[in-house]
Structure 1
Amino acid sequence: MNRQRMVVGISGASGFIYGVRLLELLAELNIESHLIISRAALLTMAHETDYKLADVSALASHYHRADDVAAGIASGSFRCLGMVVAPCSMRTLAEIATGTSSGLIGRAADVTLKERRTLVLMARETPLTLAHLRNMTAVTEMGGIIAPPVPAFYARPQNLSQMVDHSLGRVLDLFGLDAGTTLRWGEAPKPGASDEAKVVRRGVG
């Protein structure tokens, strides 16, 4: 495999922009992305953004239909760094936690877990029910990582884009990838870091 690859799932939770921006960052890092968008996510896309399916799928290296369970990424023989579901709805979380996948996102996540690769779920819901918490525990016990998109206010974000980029930068850290979008505590921004990472920390602490 000459180029590193990552699977990206976008489910129907609020926060469609996380998936879109993740695809952009992966392209900047020269990571081959394999995108799946659930049917519910298409509804969220229409409510939250001005994107069309063609716009988003064009950001990915490869686009797979959510019902295409015969896609290569549904097999353990498909080598990749792992998978991120950004954002991850509670329904998708439940499918992954119980192994009862009804589509390609769940199947690809199941494959990621069984092959002991990194699976990150940007779970997006509040408040959480006991069912949600138990499903998060189940995924964690199987080796997955629950990473809600929680803003880091110590970075003094000036806009929504900076908050999104910081959260995604921390997610990519879990794969050993530095997108240059994360202001790290106690560190100055690296030379060449994105504008989103160059946030002045006045009076922190």
Structure 2
Amino acid sequence: MSDGKKPFPATRLILLAAAAGAVAGAVAVYVSQTTSGNNAPQISTVAATPDDAACAAKADKAKTIAAVAVGDVAAMLPANPPQSLKNLAFNGPDGNPMTLGDRAGKTVLVNLWATWCAPCRAEMPALDALQKEMGSDKFEVVAVNVDTGDAEKPKKFLSETGVAALAQYRDATMGIFEDLKKRGLALGLPVTLLVDDQGCLLANMNGPAEWDSADAKKLIGAALGE
């Protein structure tokens, strides 16, 4: 019996990504995604903060938002528990260090990607389309590239694929991935996080999705209270 959860269609791209990741010696790339609906508590080795306690009180909101995650975004699970990601660090489009807290007041969809990750590359135009249609002073897609080295390779990829709406966030140290790994949120690439306007994680997933689909737009709309 179907539970309304369907896998991302580009299976061949995910398998190619696994090979690419092995060649690059990079972090693991997701090959499969469980969609049983069981959301085990995320095991974190990061010390809790007062902000985490405030975010944990949003557990019911996280479940309500994640209940809208069906079809093309069915792998998005409620944060368990919701936690503060204000201190998540990376570099902004200007190259200067910043944290997710600098986007306070905006609901954000954070996506970690790399040029060697085939499913990441496949979903980038969809993330761009989502930002183009729904980006505002209340919502932004924050796609953080984690390629090591300089920024020329990811810039070239985005230019060649016509990605123009996404700001170019970067972390060449992989520090952001390691931070999320310690929080029990990252097992491979891509990683996507839905974070509210106060920096609280509401939902998360490992693996790709169709981010320009009606299902994805409905999910973002629910997070925005629309």
Q: TM-score range by the shorter chain?
A: 0.3 to 0.5
TM-score by length of 1: 0.34
The one of the two structures with greater contact order (alpha-carbon pairs below 8 A, sep at least 6) is 2
TM-score by length of 2: 0.31
